[in-house]
Amino acid sequence: MTAVDNGSAADLFAGVPPARPHSFAQWRALTGRIVWVMATKGELVVAVIVPLVFTLGFYLPLKYVMQFKGIHYEQFVMPIIVLQTMSFTMMSNAQLAAFEAMTGLNTRMQTMPIGRMVPLVSRQSAGFVRSVVSLIAALAWGHMIGFRFVAGWGQAVLFCAFSLAVGTVLAIGADGLGSLTKSPESLSQALTLPTLIFGMLSCGFVPESGFPAWVRPFVRNQPISQFSFALRDMADHGVTWQVFWVPLVWLIGAAVVFTPFAVWASVRRS
Amino acid sequence: MSTTTVPAAEPDSWAGHQPLPTVAPRSERALGIWVQQSLIQCKRLLIGWMRDPSTTIQTLVFPAATLIMFRIVLGDSIQLATGRPAIYGFVPMVMLVAAMSGSIVSALGFKVEKMTGLLGRFHTMPIHRAAGLTGRLLAEAVRVLITSLFVLAVGVCLGFRFWYGFPAAVAMMAIPILFAVGFAVMVTALATLTEGVMLVSIIGIVQTLLMFFNSGFVPVYAYPTWLQATVQNQPMSTAIDAMRGLSYDGPIATPLWKTVAWTVGMIVVFAYPAVRGYRRAAETGA
């Protein structure tokens, strides 16, 4: 009403409370948005079912084969199922980042008074929610086939924390790729092949002695195998520092490489 | 067209253009037209796939990589446990999996064509109504043949051999194509009914389950007893058994008949929904 008198545009917003952009509220809003979509569009259901498919698909057919090597396969195979589940989170996060970059949401966010890191952090937080759901589901299905935490609560918590850390670091790298390529289709192809190679050529399904001799050095030392060694020990009899430092170095190294890359890919203006 | 020589006075009235050739009117329902236009549609799709690098990777690199991985990772362990070479199960299995994942990509392409209005445009032109669907199935068959030959080549490098001569080899290579056509009819019917994202998730999960629970991965007796009958009679297993029988060792007739029954069954059940769905997509497409 007061604006009628002088007709100045500045008074148009006179009744509106002053905006107080706050990164925490922005993070909460953006995270809630993604989680809500995940919950309502059936993605969380898929996140629960996928570990079941992996669990049954790896365990039932190979249990018999592995008996010949004297392996209790339910304890043996669980780490790789958890890691596969985490790679599924990585895929979803990559798709999400690529989709947001492709549809121009990122560009729009950059034009608004939103903290520079907020979109990236909220994508990661939503991915973390998905990881937690998947991990709980994977452990529940694993319990069904006979997987147990023998080494006590501390090691069990370490198992969960380490799995989630692996999932988060992978998701950060995939997020960077997604923001950069802006193409969900080609990205899912680009990630499937490394996932297949590192997942299969690891000591997750088959002990090192099951591989041909020429490929064993790679199999033994590559990160997924090392992760599976550590996780297996955490579930079985407790991990020692001798076993744990190699996967930890891999994980920290990956985080050191991926994080600046993801930040750069997310905040740069294209 | 080159036979019409234009008189010197004509170019003015035609503004430099050649007159269009006269063509006899043709029915869009004729059988010959159907065959001809199916081939054109098939060629169109194949050229599109050939020029799309992601499809090339999907149809050639992934199956080959999967086969090599399975051979390296599980080949020795499975041979140790079962006493027979695992490669004769892996090669058929990878061929069938490649056929299935390829048909999902093709179904997504179909949805894009609907969205961009290409199907609707075809529908307004004098094109045989069935040519779109049959052309797509034909293109599927050709793609599966190419993939299977590529997988076979990789398999031969890894130790796969034909023990029953040329006719059996040809028969073996025909099975993935047969299987793929049946599967493609089903996926097309589902693709016309459902949304893209859910379709990929559901078929992806079903495909993963089929891949882990078949007789090519590990022998049927390695599965729990309550699961053995299901594993033995699911469509992939019957096809794999038939293919193994034709290339290496094992029964042929029974699995072959079961495979044919599965394929014919899939076609009978899903052909009508696929035809109807394709027609509806063409009529309602943007």
Q: What is the pLDDT of residues A96-114, one digit of tens each?
A: 888 888 888 888 888 888 8
Closest Cα in chain A, distance from residue B183 (Å): 21
Distance of alpha carbon A181 from the chain centroid: 19
Taking contacts as CB-CB distances below 8 angstroms, the residues of chain B near A185 are 54
| Interface predicted TM-score (ipTM) of this complex, two decimals | 0.74
Termini Cα distance of chain B: 36
**In this predicted structure, what is the pLDDT of residue A2?**
45
**In this predicted structure, what is the pLDDT of residue B8?**
53
Instruction: Report CB contact under 8 Å: A68, B77.
Output: yes
| Mean pLDDT, rounded, of chain A | 86
Closest Cα in chain A, distance from residue B180 (Å): 22
Give the type of residue at B276: R
The radius of gyration of chain A from alpha carbons, rounded to an integer in Å, stands at 22
**In this predicted structure, what is the pLDDT of residue B47?**
92
The radius of gyration of chain B from alpha carbons, rounded to an integer in Å, stands at 23
Instruction: Report CB contact under 8 Å: B218, A196.
Output: no
Taking contacts as CB-CB distances below 8 angstroms, the residues of chain A near B61 are 193
Three-class SS of residue B17? coil
**In this predicted structure, what is the pLDDT of residue A131?**
92
Give the type of residue at B42: C
Closest Cα in chain A, distance from residue B46 (Å): 19
Per-residue confidence band for A73, with pLDDT thresholds at 50, 70 and 90: confident
Closest Cα in chain A, distance from residue B186 (Å): 22
**Under an 8 Å CB criterion, which residues of A touch B?**
41-42, 46, 49-50, 53, 56-58, 60-69, 185-186, 189, 192-193, 196-197, 200-201, 205-206, 210-212, 215
DSSP A30-92: HHHHHHHHHHHTTHHHHHHHHHHHHHHHHHHHHHHHHHTTT--HHHHHHHHHHHHHHHHHHHH
pLDDT exceeds 90 at position B39: yes
- Give yes or no for B124 touching A (CB within 8 A): no
pLDDT exceeds 50 at position A151: yes
Which of B205, B266, B204 has the alpha carbon at shortest distance from B235? B266
What percent of chain B shows pLDDT beyond 90? 16
B150-201 tens-digit pLDDT: 999 999 998 888 888 888 888 888 889 988 888 888 888 888 877 656 666 7
pLDDT exceeds 80 at position A269: no
Instruction: Report CB contact under 8 Å: B69, A200.
Output: yes
Taking contacts as CB-CB distances below 8 angstroms, the residues of chain B near A69 are 77, 80
Tokens of A92: 């979803």
Cα–Cα distance list, A14 to A3, A5, A21, A137 (Å) = 8, 13, 18, 52
Per-residue confidence band for B40, with pLDDT thresholds at 50, 70 and 90: very high
Distance CA A169, CA A160 (A): 14
Tokens 């559901």 belong to which residue?
B202
Q: Where are the alpha helices (DSSP H) in B15-163?
A: 31-50, 53-56, 62-82, 87-116, 118-124, 131-157
Helix axis angle, B131-157 to B87-116, nearest 10°: 150
pLDDT exceeds 70 at position B7: no
Distance CA B112, CA B173 (A): 31
Q: How many CB atoms lie within 10 A of CB B63?
A: 23
Question: Using an 8 Å Cβ cutoff, are B79 and B85 in contact?
Answer: yes
Instruction: Report CB contact under 8 Å: B73, A46.
Output: no
Question: Using an 8 Å Cβ cutoff, are A42 and B197 in contact?
Answer: no
Instruction: Report CB contact under 8 Å: A206, B74.
Output: yes
Question: Using an 8 Å Cβ cutoff, are B231 and B214 in contact?
Answer: yes
Domain boundaries, chain B: 31-284
Instruction: Report CB contact under 8 Å: B65, A193.
Output: yes
Mean pLDDT of A70-97: 87
Interface probe with B: pick from A43, A65, A181, A185, most Cβ of B within 10 Å: A65
Termini Cα distance of chain A: 42
Closest Cα in chain A, distance from residue B125 (Å): 32
